[in-house]
Amino acid sequence: MNIGVFDSGLGGLTVVSAIEKTMKGVNIFYVADTKHAPYGEKTPSQIRQYSLNITAYLIATYKIDALVLACNTATSFAIESLRLLYPHLIIIGTEPGIKPAILQSKRGKIGVLATPATLKSSKYQSLAKALSKDTEIQFFEQACHGLVEQIEKGELCSDKTKALLSSWLIPMKAEGVDTIVLGCTHYPLVAQTISHIMKDEVILIDTGMAIGQRLLTLALNKGYHNKGSNLLHVEATGYIVEDMVKKILHRNYSIENISIDNKLK
């Protein structure tokens, strides 16, 4: 089975790692669109077009059977268009884990760390409204400007990264937040720093394993046999910190830089 996965950068590799813990005998082709990162600072039309271009490239180049949008922002603005264009594909998106956060929070005070575009999207707003309706749940939403860029540079616990996170998390801590949704696939990479700032008094919600389980279920329904060895190929449209790729994956892979625009011509 050929699986295409993409994100604006390295964050989606956290989803790839989760998929590999669930599925065997798959070829995974990952595109880090670092040329256009971060998606969270782009317009909806730009995000949609990047997603359409990458999907067309993955289908043309690797004949993928399944597509994973390992990006909350791309899911918000592109997944409906992709499902209409490619009804034969298994297509799975990434959404902030609001539902599991509500189930696990004891105080009903939930922090949501996400990109500006994700928090503004109608998809997120309708999800949060529907799940918190007729409850006393409080959401403390934070648009994390600059955090993706810090992670992409490999600065997971630098002074600047800690300062950014502290400025957002300390007010949440003062409000009694006990559960935090990691609303971007990059953010699990700074989970340790978040826990340190919150003094380990918080539950962190990451949806990576849920995506892997959902993909496995849909694949089995199409006759996939979950056995064998996996192949992983990583591609980037711009600069990528390979040391960070190694740190996230902990396994062998091939990597190259590509120009999707040229390859689609």
| pLDDT, tens digit, 9 for 90 and up, residues 79-125 | 999 999 999 999 999 999 999 999 999 999 999 999 999 999 998 99
**Can you give the pLDDT at residue 187?**
97
Mean pLDDT calculated for residue range 28-43: 94
Render pLDDT for 167-179 as a digit per residue (tens, 0 to 9): 999 999 999 999 9
What is the DSSP annotation of the chain? -EEEEEESSSTTHHHHHHHHHH--S-EEEEEE-GGG--GGGS-HHHHHHHHHHHHHHHHHHH--SEEEE--HHHHHHHHHHHHHH-TTSEEE-----HHHHHHH-SSSEEEEEE-HHHHHSHHHHHHHHHHHTTS--EEEEEE-TTHHHHHHTT-SS-HHHHHHHHHHHHHHHHTT--EEEEESTTGGGGHHHHHHHTTT-SEEE--HHHHHHHHHHHHHHTT----S--EEEEEESS---HHHHHHHH-S--EEEE--HHHHH-
Is position 184 annotated as part of the catalytic site?
yes
Give the pLDDT band (50/70/90) at residue 198: very high
- Residue 201: per-residue pLDDT: 86
Q: What is the pTM of this model?
A: 0.93
Of 3, 71, 90, 148, the active-site residue reads: 71
Res 132: pLDDT: 84
147, 184, 210, 244: the active-site residue: 184
Going from the N-terminus, what domains does the chain have, and what CATH number goes with each?
2-94+208-264 (3.40.50.1860), 98-205 (3.40.50.1860)
Mean pLDDT value of segment 32-48: 94
Does 140 score more than 90 pLDDT? yes
Q: Look up 157 and say whether it is catalytic.
A: no
Q: What is the pLDDT of residue 177?
A: 97
- Rounded average pLDDT over 192-218: 95
Position 265 pLDDT exceeds 70: no
